[in-house]
Amino acid sequence: MDLHLLIDNLTNPALLFFFLGVIAVQLKSDLTIPETSSKFISLYLLLSIGFKGGQELSHSEFNIEILWSLLFGVFLAIIIPIYTYFILRRKFNVENAGAIAAAYGSVSAVTFVTTISFLELEQIAFSGHMVAVMALMEAPSIMVGLLLMMFFKKNKKEKGAPMKTVLHHALTNGSVLIIIGSLFIGIMASEAQAEGIKPFTTDIFKGFLAVFLLDMGITSGRKLSDFIKKGWFALIFAIVVPLINGCLVAVVSSILTESAGNRLLFAILAASASYIAVPAAMKIAAPKANPSLYIPMALAITFPFNITLGMPLYLCIINLT
């Protein structure tokens, strides 16, 4: 691995704020980010990245690479939960295996946003249509996870929420809706109109990302100790499976695009896990699944791994292939 990439990433101020949050928890500090502020910042980050992605799309012609990229994203969101479900069933029941599989088939918008910040730091170009790829990967994995639960459930009489309700919830989830909506607004806005709100959508982006990662560090630090008590299998899974997914996709994505930035975003989408959209959907559709298991796996283990070691590792593989 290129040590320069690793050092650049680990000394990124936004990432250091994440570590500050984790340290604050270990020191039993009363440092907190108000919940309302945290929610606003997360919505802002998604709005900003969606709008900028829409602007990029509006300046590029729809071509075969974009089409194949969208289809590849959906394919990943379907195949990852299927294969991970059978690994998870070695240790977990149907509901927990299905929920965790759905989380790892889905994506983390915050990891995606952090990766874009990393690409900008390294001055590596990427395409706006990758935002659309991310948005498309949320719902399919939730559907696959629920279908696996329904198919393998021993007591067929037990029924969760109707698929129609789950689908509606997945597609209207705040994080999905804001990024899709912002994407279309970015497409429709003219260059002059986009320039008018650039101070909001671009100039303050990295500052808000730093505060948000501080909050993520505090949240991760609180969940980490409880999660470790649940055993080594979940801990190993939360590192090894994303690592395999990210490395494989970093290589395979060369078939679709020559852009190193796009390939890294594909790798990080395959390696990340949802801790917002999937938990919200599973709360309705699979109430027996244990959120204290799949949320810490995605947030306290996979998320820090991807934003510290994952990004430079996947980019190193991309540069070698």
Domain that holds residue 159: 34-320
The verdict on residue 27 lying in a domain is: no
| Tens of each residue's pLDDT in the chain, 321 residues | 556 666 766 677 877 888 898 899 889 899 988 888 888 888 888 788 788 878 877 877 778 888 999 899 999 999 999 999 999 999 899 999 999 999 999 888 889 988 998 898 889 999 888 888 888 887 788 888 888 888 887 655 555 556 676 667 666 767 667 877 888 898 898 888 988 888 888 888 888 888 888 887 887 787 776 667 667 898 899 999 999 999 999 999 999 999 999 999 999 999 999 887 787 677 777 778 887 788 888 888 899 899 889 999 999 999 998
The verdict on residue 175 lying in a domain is: yes
Cα dist from 141 to 75, 104, 198, 209, 218, whole Å: 10, 8, 34, 26, 28
The verdict on residue 269 lying in a domain is: yes
The verdict on residue 122 lying in a domain is: yes
Q: What is the pLDDT of residue 84?
A: 96
Instruction: List phi, psi (to 5°) of 57.
Output: -65, -40
The verdict on residue 13 lying in a domain is: no
CATH code, 135:
1.20.1530.20
The verdict on residue 3 lying in a domain is: no
Q: Is 105 exposed, middle or buried (0-12, 13-18, 19+ CB in 10 A)?
A: buried
The verdict on residue 217 lying in a domain is: yes
For residue 84, give the nearest of 59, 103, 108 by alpha carbon: 103
Q: What is the pLDDT of residue 319?
A: 92
Q: Which residues contact 242 (CB under 8 A, 6 or more apart)?
A: 104, 270, 271, 272, 273, 302, 305, 306, 310
Q: What is the pLDDT of residue 77?
A: 94
This prediction has a pTM of 0.79
The verdict on residue 29 lying in a domain is: no
Give ∠ CA 307-130-126 in degrees, rounded to 5: 75
Q: What is the pLDDT of residue 58?
A: 80
HEC letters along 228-241: HCCCHHHHHHHHHH
Asked if residues 306 and 111 have their Cβ atoms less than 8 Å apart, the reply is: yes
Q: For the chain, what is the domain count?
A: 1
Give ∠ CA 91-97-99 in degrees, rounded to 5: 150
